Structures are given as C-alpha cells and as structure tokens.
Amino acid sequence: MQLNGATFALWILVSLASLAITASCTGPDDIIVTQAWVRDVPPGAHMTAGYLSIENKNAVDLVITRVDSNDFEAAEIHVTRITDGMAKMRRIGQLEIPAGKRMLFEPGGPHLMLIKPTREFSPGDTVSITLVFRDGKRLAVDLIVKQDSSE
C-alpha cells in the first residue's frame, strides 16, 4: 500500500494524541485522565495524596463513588478547603464531574487520600488505582510517583 499524504498526516495526529495522555488509563474513551501523579510518601507518614485531571466528555454527569487500589489499604476522596486561613481536610463520599467539564484534583483542593501503601515505591514508579462511577463504569489509572508537583 502506498503511504500517501493523508494517511501519513493521520498517523502523525494519532501519535501526537497518544503522547498527550501522560498517564495510561484503560476504560471508556469518553473519560480523559491526564497529569495523574502521587506524592512520594514521606518517611514516618502512612498516607499520601494523589492528583489528576479528569475530563468528562459524556453528555451526562459522572459521579465517582469509590476509589479502589491494590497498592494501598484504603483509598478515599478528600478535599482540602482553606477557610479564613484555616486548612480543613474532609472526606467526601462522592465527586461529581458535570457533563463536558474537567475536574482537577490538585494540592490544596480535591485529592485522592491514599492510606497505608501495601508495597514500597519511589519517584519514577507508578501506582494503580481504579475510579468507580455510580453507573458502574470503572476506570483504571496509573499515577506517577513524584517528590513534588514541580517535577
């Protein structure tokens, strides 16, 4: 088959698109997860926070109701709120991502609270979690271990 210009352009486009997703995830194509990372657990601590960007390309709202992980004894959704200068962290039972919108899990905001690692890991490794949605959808996400967000 002759490689014509259009096929070549399409190949370039697909390659670039796959590169754009920095963390691998398997699941419905209408949920896009990027920038997934987890902070390396400081010695003496038994928990850490995971962060990611999740875009809901569906026409309906998505609700994350649970987080599963074999790499931690427990995984929950928490949110840090700073009110009147005071940082408060609370567990939230579910997190809604409206149709067409993107939700950012980030330091100082919503984050995954990952409790008691079941194995050792260090910066550069990946840990796996699964986001479970109210409609039964499951999305596996690999989080890259980093010392800090600036890396």
Provide the minimum distance between the beta carbon of 46 and other proteins in the complex, in angstroms, as a whole number.
7
In the region spanning residues 116 to 145, those forming contacts with other proteins, defined by CB under 8 A, are none
d(CA 129, CA 113): 11
Q: Is 16 helix (H, G, I), strand (E, B) or coil?
A: helix
Of residues 31 and 103, the one with the C-beta less far from other proteins: 103
Q: DSSP string spanning 40-68?
A: PPPTT-SEEEEEEEEEE-SSS-EEEEEEE
In the region spanning residues 83 to 102, those forming contacts with other proteins, defined by CB under 8 A, are 85-91
Contact between 114 and other proteins by CB under 8 A: the answer reads yes
9, 21, 82, 92: which one contacts other proteins (CB under 8 A)?
A: 82
Q: Is 103 helix (H, G, I), strand (E, B) or coil?
A: strand
Pairing of strands 31-39, 138-146: parallel
Contact between 26 and other proteins by CB under 8 A: the answer reads no
Contact between 107 and other proteins by CB under 8 A: the answer reads yes
Q: Is 138 helix (H, G, I), strand (E, B) or coil?
A: strand
Binding residues (CB under 8 A) for other proteins: these are: 39, 42-49, 78, 80, 82, 85-91, 107-108, 111, 113-114, 147-150
